[in-house]
């Protein structure tokens, strides 16, 4: 993808003390527009408002979805930058999405939580193939672990730690973890 460079020239707001006739001209309006563009989109120093807000909203959306970076937590827990002695799951616990739903429901009073599942034949076929593959790996887990240890090749498509143990867990696993792109 081509990197587009936008050159925004420095522009100050024009004087507010000019006559109304001059304020009605296109040139005056253009000066106002250029000043607004410079104030919001300039990239000199740290005073660019649009990009700061964009970055801040992106970070807040990650928190709202429970996908925030865990690097700051790792830095606090690490001893001299070493995390090897810790056996922790660094997956963030999605606590905030629950509160987002509560707050949004309080504001817009949504009575229902919409869940969409693809029902077309192709999506159902993909879902059943994936479920069969996970079920086959559940059954052959011990054999696949032996293959992995002897050959060094990883035959698992799903992490062995995340493989369900029972049919009920498989059903729950499919509801929680399997989401095709069409949904």
DSSP state of 79: B
**Rounded to whole angstroms, how far apart are CA atoms 105 and 122?**
34
d(CA 97, CA 163) in angstroms, rounded, equals 25
CB half-sphere exposure, 5, CA atoms < 13 A: 2
What distance lies between CA 47 and its chain's CA centroid?
A: 26
Can you tell me whether residue 110 is helix, strand or coil?
A: coil
Please tell me the predicted confidence (pLDDT) of residue 133. 92
**For 162-167, what is the mean pLDDT?**
89
Instruction: Give mean pLDDT, residues 49-72.
Output: 85
- How far is 128 from 122, CA to CA, in rounded Å? 10
Q: Where are the domains of the chain?
A: 53-108, 121-177
pLDDT digits (tens, 9 = 90+) for 92-111: 777 777 777 777 766 666 67
Q: Look at residue 18 in the predicted model and tell me its pLDDT.
A: 92
pTM greater than the 0.85 cutoff? no
Per-residue model confidence (pLDDT) at position 106: 66
């Amino acid at each position: 993808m081509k990197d587009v460079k936008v050159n925004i020239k420095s522009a100050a707001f024009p004087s507010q003390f000019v006559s109304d006739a001059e304020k009605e001209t296109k040139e005056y309006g253009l000066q106002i527009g250029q000043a607004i563009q410079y104030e919001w989109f300039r990239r000199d120093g740290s005073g660019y408002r649009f990009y700061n807000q964009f970055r801040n909203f992106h970070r807040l959306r990650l928190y709202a979805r429970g996908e925030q970076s865990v690097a700051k937590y790792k830095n606090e827990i690490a001893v001299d930058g070493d995390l090897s002695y810790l056996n922790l799951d660094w997956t963030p616990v999605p606590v905030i999405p629950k509160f987002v739903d509560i707050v949004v429901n309080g504001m817009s009073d949504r009575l229902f939580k919409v869940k969409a599942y693809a029902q077309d034949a192709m999506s159902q076929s993909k879902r059943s193939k994936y479920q069969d593959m996970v079920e086959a790996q559940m059954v052959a887990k011990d054999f696949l672990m032996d293959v992995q240890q002897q050959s060094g090749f990883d035959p698992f498509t799903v992490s062995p730690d995340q493989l369900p143990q029972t049919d009920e867990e498989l059903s729950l696993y499919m509801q929680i973890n399997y989401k095709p792109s069409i949904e």
